[in-house]
Structures are given as structure tokens and as C-alpha cells.
Homo-oligomer: A and B are copies of this chain.
Amino acid sequence: MAGTNRKAAPVLGGPCVVLVRPQLGENIGAAARAMLNFGLTELRLVAPRDGWPSETARASASRADDVLDGATLYGTAAEAVADRHLVVATTARKRDIAKTVATPREAAEAMRDAMAEGRKVALLFGAERTGLENDEFALAHLAVRIPANPGFSSLNLAQAVLLLGYEWFQAAHGAPAGQVGPTDRSAPATMAELVNFYERLEAELDEAGFLWPEDKRPSMVQNIRALFQRAGLTEQEVRTLHGMVKALAHLRERRRRRA
């Protein structure tokens, strides 16, 4: 899906992402791209299997090169999170270690609240096939499990990073309230403009004999108005509707003269 690249200032910051013993450079690159999609820029790598730097990582990072260039290397997960105040670890399976298990959304809110208090946060992901070892998982203050189809719950490493990043972005920057209403530049119509259109439409429909019989007219008018009200019309659209009604009514006149 093509992005906008609106040249707006990037939203940056957030927890560091720690990939523990990642196996494939391709996944590291895709994880870096997913991070940057949601404004995460600090990548820490613990003992990547195929060494570092990695050309395959770069090839799959799209334009998220800066994230890869800034990545730092550690020998163990414990070293990678040594300066952190809150460690959040993803896990795909149940573990014997007693730990609070949050949804990605809850974890994102916890990370945001911690950072708002000046605490440093790490988000920990295990190796592709095996996940985190128990001693690595034990480092976490909070565990996250992604809710998924129990019959098919296996997620790619970069996809797990993507989902946590997505929730982080919304928690940190506020899910923008969905724009309820038109997206184009035309202003929404005022009620006065709407009523003016409705009255014109109803006058034409009366003329055409549509709002009939008389005792049904009030409910017909209400239903027609309700239908247009739901659409959240713009000024421009009200002008278009005026034009449509006028064109159709003139067509009727033409046809009448021909008859």
C-alpha cells in the first residue's frame, strides 16, 4: 500500500526495541522498517546469528536505514536492558514464570505512562523460532501476548514488532479521533442550507405527485430528510444535489412537452 510521504516532521522517540538472537537479517530489516512506521528509532541487537552489519537487513529495511545505522550490539539480553527502568517482553506461549500478561494495548499504555515519568523502557523480542529463553523472559517487568487465532497464532518477528509499534504510536500520540465527516476541503453544510435543499426537493416531489397520499406525507418527508442527514453533506454536495433535482425536474418538463 503506498504511503503518503507528506514531508511532515517524523514522530520519533519511544522505547528501545531489543531483538534477542535474531536469525534472519531480512527480519531485522523488516523490524526496523516497522519500528520507523510508528516512530520507534532505537534498535538494540543481542547476538544476531549472522553477524552485524547485515546486507540482507539493509535490503529489507526500505528507507529505514537510519534505524539500522544507529543499532547497537550487545552480548546478552541482560546487558541490552541494563540501563532500562521498565522491560516489556513479548511472548507467544504460556510460561511457568509468574508474570503479569498484558495485551499490546495495555503494554503500550504502561510504556507511555512509564516514559511520561522519565523512566526508560525496553521492548524485548525473542528469536524467530524459539522466542526468549526463560532467563531472558525473567528480566521483564511485564509480559505481552498478542491476541490471535488460537489455531494459527504464529506471527513473524517483524509483524510482532509492527503490532507493538502500532499500539505504541496510538498510546503515545493519541489515536486520532476518526474524522467523522467529509475529508475534502468543502465545509460541512449548515442546517439552514440543508433545510433549504430539503424544502426545494419536497416542493419538486409535491409537484411530481410523489409525496402522496397526504396522510403519509409527513413520514415520507421525515424519512427522506433522515437519509440525507446521515450522509453528513458538505456545502458542495448540497449544491450538487440542488443541481441534480433541477436537472431531473427539467427533464420531466421536456418529456411533458414532447408528450
Contact = CB atoms under 8 A, between A and B. Distances in A.
Interface of A: 1-12, 34, 36-39, 62-64, 90, 92-103, 105-106, 125-126, 128-131, 143, 146-157, 159-160, 162-163, 166, 169-170, 173-176, 178-184, 186, 201, 204-205, 207-210, 220, 223-224, 227-228, 230-234, 237, 240-241, 243-245, 247-252, 254-256, 259
Contact of A175 (B105, B155, B241, B245): B105
A131 to B, nearest CB: 5
Contact of A98 (B146, B184, B209): B184
Contacts of A105: 170, 175
A199 to B, nearest CB: 15
A128 B93 CA distance: 33
A152 B183 contact: no
A176 B237 CA distance: 32
Do most interface residues of chain A lie in helix, strand or loop, or is the interface mixed? loop
A149 B98 contact: no
A129 B2 CA distance: 5
A64 B140 CA distance: 32
23 contacts: A1-B90, A1-B126, A3-B155, A4-B93, A4-B154, A5-B152, A37-B148, A98-B237, A100-B178, A101-B178, A102-B178, A103-B175, A146-B166, A147-B170, A148-B166, A163-B163, A210-B244, A223-B237, A227-B233, A231-B231, A249-B251, A251-B255, A256-B256
A252 B157 contact: no
A159 B160 contact: no
Given A1-B125, A62-B154, 15 more contacts: A1-B128, A1-B154, A3-B152, A3-B154, A37-B154, A64-B152, A95-B183, A97-B183, A100-B182, A105-B170, A162-B163, A208-B247, A210-B247, A227-B231, A248-B249
A209 B240 CA distance: 14
B157 A1 contact: yes
A201 B244 CA distance: 9
